[in-house]
Structure 1
Amino acid sequence: MKIPPIAALLLALTMAGCVKKEISDPEKLSTATTTQGVVSAAAVQPVRSEALLAMQCYNNAFYNQYGTYGPSFKAYYYSDVTRTGRMDFWRQAEAIETLIDAYTINNDADLRNKIVYLYNGMRDAYGLLWTSNTFNDDVIWGALMCVRAFLITNDGGMKDMAKNNFDMVWNRAWDNNLGGGLWWTTANNTKNACVNAPAAICAMYLYQVTGDVNYRNKAKMITDWMVSRLYTSATGEVKGAINAAGTITEGSRSYTQGTFIGACSMLHNAYPSANFKAMGQKAMDYTKNNMCNAQGLLPDEYDCDDCQGFKAIFARWACRFVKDHNLQSTYAAWLNYNAAEAWTYRNTNGLMWGQWWRRTPDSYLNSFETTSGVAMMNGVWLF
């Protein structure tokens, strides 16, 4: 579907404030479902212009441009709708990744500018090398954001920031305890999927932008280790963490399923005989059939603030997996259904929280929980 001119869309934003459509609207998206984990073909893709609108509504609520950065500008996302402070480090990086997702689909100049300004805000707030952050996963999320931003802007500073911070984590977090893997924090207590899977993705991107095969090799080392310690071959479940004694301490989450899928997807072409595509598909099936409700709706994951935006990360890599491996007939209806549900239950300001089965409140919302719907709505336009 053709995107309407940007001027018209911005006018709609101004006049309507991203107002939720009435149920009787003819563009109301289908929520028809059948059995567990299987969504009917009637579940259609959201309107593409609304995917851009969803990102703009998010920016209206949370984006703050706060000064100059050399010849450019700097910005950050507020932590919530009260605009009392900035998002914390890793959630800020994931909100920028959501913006990158939206730019990838919409090629909108304003979104591209905001990627640059938000990146400048990260540099301004945290510097170039994040050694003081004891959470290795935080650093990896930031590095992944930087290398993806580099692919859009060709800004060498972004590539250097991604490379230097990935290298720092590798040097302090990889060892042969438990046969390999990256420690979650500098305390070296557990090795978690939330650092290893995104690190494998980041390493593959670094291989692409530097040509250094050592990054590709590290991506495979990380993923092979995850397969040996955290991946359940019989089901496709990706466990969340293993402690130094070799005991699994966390179960599956949507974002670790998603990043494992993303790592498998990126490694497949480099190692076509290593079964990565099949493992990624097994992880997709586990998420669809074992983590969703009877209608195929992804879990809320509202047990802590850090969990509330996990579905954004799943959407990012699951949708790309479908595109890269032409699996639309298997997964498109399911993912489209989730995007449709998120948008159906948006609030007056066009924001979508992570509970896609009831209306998003107009009162308090944080800026991490509201990334999930935006990422899913834009993600389904990859395929």
Structure 2
Amino acid sequence: MKTLLQVALLLLCFQFRSTGQLANFNGTAEALQTSMYNTFGVPNQNYWWCAHGVDALLDGYTRTRSETYKTRMKSLLLGIRSFNGNTYINHFYDDMEWLGIAALRAYHETGDADYYNVATTLWNDIKGGYTNGAIDWNKGCAGCKNACANAPAVILAARIYRFTNAAADLQYATNIFAFMKANLVDPVTGAVWDAINLNTGVTNKDWIFSYNVGTFIAAGWELYKVTGDVNYLNDAVKTANYAMNSRRTNGMFFADETGGGDGGLFKGIFIRYLSELAREGNIPAATRAGYKEAIRFNAQTLKTNGINPSTNLVGANWSQQPSGSTDYATQLSGVMVIEAAATLDQSYFYKDVNYGGSYWGLTAGSYNTAALTAKGISNNDITAFAIPEGYQVTLFKNDNFQGGSLVVSGNSAWIGTAWNDSVSSLIVNYTAGATFYKDCNYTGAVISLPAGDYTLTQLQARGILNDDVSSVKVSSGYQVVLYENDNFSGTTVTTRTDLSCLVSQTFNDKTTSVRITATGAAPAALTTAQTAPAGKHTFQGLSLYPNPAGNTLYLKTPDNLTGATVTVFDITGRARITGRLTANNISVSGLPAGVYWMTVVKDGKKITLSFVK
């Protein structure tokens, strides 16, 4: 029998054990972040580079929750104001937008009101550059409508709207997006042109930069999140597919962008926003998987070929080590792609329906209530989830993996009545293939692979070195064959069970190629959350009618709902109706057509049901 101390230590190990991309890129991300700080410290110039510096440090903070990153973020924020004349207001609208985006995200992650104040101060000034449906590039060029000043403005306006609920902020976002789509986006391919000068009527279609492509993707995605209009999501996917199909050379995005300086930042910005789209639950799984694999390939190429091993500095060409010095912008770009790759196989959990509201990514591991809280997830606050292929999650009603449980995989825009806001602990497992460890007893560097055939080149692309596997975990329903030579030749070891140390098979550090096949014996996880029978914490037999609803929606239940608190959410997770019931019905005449969720709470009982208007 384990002592309480042993149990606590075991839980701690579970909480911080990870597999897959985080394990592959976590060390590299930390090394690049450390090198960036040691080399550049808190810069005293280049406003827009430093704005992205705040964003990159925030990537490190969300990955580690380390106070070190919070301290560095705040120092950089204050440093920007100091070298900018003791103000955050700038001549260039795009520069202010970058900092506004980073500051608002920092406020969301840390709760520090200083960041929110910076974001709103900047947004109020940025709106002064709005004319003819779009934002000017700077305060000295009226009519210069550059993509770099408008797609970020949409991102910032849409995110500000989530906090202010001010219709004017959303109107700015939709107007600017419409201007861009009409004037700066190729209607056939989805490519994003650099600028249009309204004074001359000339559109610069020759310059198609990665960061403009990335921010337009994000602009469409953000508007979809706040409006529920799928056309915005389709626009984002169209532009992302342009990059996937037309701007990759030997797998590398925008391989022609190899300069430093301002251009050194471009690809990192693109990757940041493509990675956000890659976790959107409402696009096809195959599309998401394609985006993730492309990002992983670029990150792995940089990790393998593009980092100076003695300095951990990167070059503008991610396929080769820098030959000379590296500037801050170029290092930031490298940090961004590695940080993005570290999140690719995380399972995401959402506060609101339809993947709305706050969201949090978790790697494989076990998380009790304290561990979830440390990651920013409050107790009983999960409403939707998006779990990548090859993973499954076990949800628990109570802390420390106790109480009712439910195994889920795939995506669910709503977790279901019985589980909505009812998760207190959970376990994320990799289930679709095998996990390979550098050292015996499942320790050291770790990489998870789905079913497939892997030559040495393919293993190295995934982060597994030649002759460097010492232990293996095999998911239920899979078989692994380890080969001593490349291309599936030489001596083999075949297993359907875990092997804690390949010394026992005289095969330690001998793996050069691998085959992983499904045997068909694995139990299937549920692809969506299921509704459990009603109990003492929910309402017996409550239903809504008519559904679709007219002007009045009726609640049918044996319970007396008078005095119950009722909230109606739209598809974005925004509360549209809030109040108390005076009878078992509610007026929905003011709602536009759409899909809605209603939450009813009374006397400790709670239920959420969906309806169509």
Q: TM-score, normalised by structure 1?
A: 0.77
What residue in structure 2 maps to residue 329 of structure 1? 289
What residue in structure 2 maps to residue 142 of structure 1? 99
Letter in 2 for 1:365: T
Tell me, yes or no, if structure 1 residue 217 matches structure 2 residue 174: no
What residue in structure 1 maps to residue 368 of structure 2? none
Contact 1:200 1:218 (8 Å CA) reproduced: yes
Tell me, yes or no, if structure 1 residue 232 matches structure 2 residue 232: no
Residue of 28, 50, 61 corresponding to 1:50:
28
Task: Name the CA distance, whole Å, in 2 between partners of 1:237 and 1:208.
Answer: 28
Contact 1:129 1:164 (8 Å CA) reproduced: no
User: How big is the shift at 1:125?
Assistant: 2.5
Letter in 2 for 1:144: I
Task: Name the CA distance, whole Å, in 2 between partners of 1:324 and 1:105.
Answer: 19
Task: Name the CA distance, whole Å, in 2 between partners of 1:351 and 1:87.
Answer: 20
Letter in 2 for 1:368: A
Answer 1 or 2: which has greater helix percent.
1
Contact 2:220 2:235 (8 Å CA) reproduced: yes
What residue in structure 1 maps to residue 266 of structure 2? 310
What residue in structure 2 maps to residue 66 of structure 1? none
Task: Name the CA distance, whole Å, in 2 between partners of 1:127 and 1:147.
Answer: 22
CA pair 115-215 structure 1, distance change in 2 beyond 3 A: same
- Deviation per CA, 1:212-231, whole angstroms, max 9, x where unpaired? 33222221221121111111
Contact 2:217 2:239 (8 Å CA) reproduced: yes
What residue in structure 2 maps to residue 18 of structure 1? none
User: How big is the shift at 1:128?
Assistant: 6.4
What residue in structure 2 maps to residue 117 of structure 1? 75
Task: Name the CA distance, whole Å, in 2 between partners of 1:156 and 1:375.
Answer: 25
Contact 2:211 2:270 (8 Å CA) reproduced: yes
Contact 2:94 2:138 (8 Å CA) reproduced: yes
Matched residues, percent identical? 25
SS in 1 for 2:196: strand
- Larger displacement relative to structure 2 (93-102 or 256-265): 93-102
What residue in structure 1 maps to residue 426 of structure 2? none
The number of equivalent residue pairs is 319
User: How big is the shift at 1:304?
Assistant: 6.3
User: How big is the shift at 1:315?
Assistant: 1.3
What residue in structure 1 maps to residue 148 of structure 2? 194
- Larger displacement relative to structure 2 (117-126 or 320-329): 320-329
Residue of 284, 294, 302 corresponding to 1:342:
302
Which one has more relative contact order, counting CA pairs under 8 Å at least 6 apart? Answer: 1
CA pair 241-108 structure 1, distance change in 2 beyond 3 A: same
What residue in structure 1 maps to residue 249 of structure 2? 293
> How does 1:1-383 map onto structure 2 within 5 Å?
46-63=24-41, 76-77=42-43, 86-126=44-84, 129-131=87-89, 133-171=90-128, 173-176=129-132, 180-186=133-139, 187-244=141-198, 245-250=200-205, 251-303=207-259, 305-325=261-281, 327-344=287-304, 345-347=306-308, 348-361=310-323, 363-383=324-344
User: How big is the shift at 1:191?
Assistant: 0.2
Task: Name the CA distance, whole Å, in 1 between partners of 2:267 and 2:253.
Answer: 11
Task: Name the CA distance, whole Å, in 1 between partners of 2:343 and 2:234.
Answer: 20
CA pair 103-305 structure 1, distance change in 2 beyond 3 A: same
Task: Name the CA distance, whole Å, in 1 between partners of 2:338 and 2:186.
Answer: 29
In structure 1, runs of 5+ residues without a counterpart are 5-28, 30-42, 64-75, 78-85
Letter in 2 for 1:369: T
- Deviation per CA, 1:127-167, whole angstroms, max 9, x where unpaired? 56544x32211121122222122122222222122112111
- Deviation per CA, 1:35-69, whole angstroms, max 9, x where unpaired? xxxxxxxx998433322232222222211xxxxxx
User: How big is the shift at 1:233?
Assistant: 2.4
Task: Name the CA distance, whole Å, in 2 between partners of 1:223 and 1:189.
Answer: 16
Task: Name the CA distance, whole Å, in 2 between partners of 1:45 and 1:249.
Answer: 43
User: In angstroms, what is the RMSD of aligned CA positions?
Assistant: 2.5
In structure 2, runs of 5+ residues without a counterpart are 1-11, 14-19, 345-613
Task: Name the CA distance, whole Å, in 2 between partners of 1:127 and 1:214.
Answer: 30
User: How big is the shift at 1:312?
Assistant: 1.3
Contact 2:22 2:342 (8 Å CA) reproduced: no
What residue in structure 2 maps to residue 72 of structure 1? none
CA pair 354-286 structure 1, distance change in 2 beyond 3 A: same
Contact 1:346 1:359 (8 Å CA) reproduced: yes
CA pair 328-108 structure 1, distance change in 2 beyond 3 A: farther
SS in 2 for 1:169: helix
Letter in 2 for 1:169: I
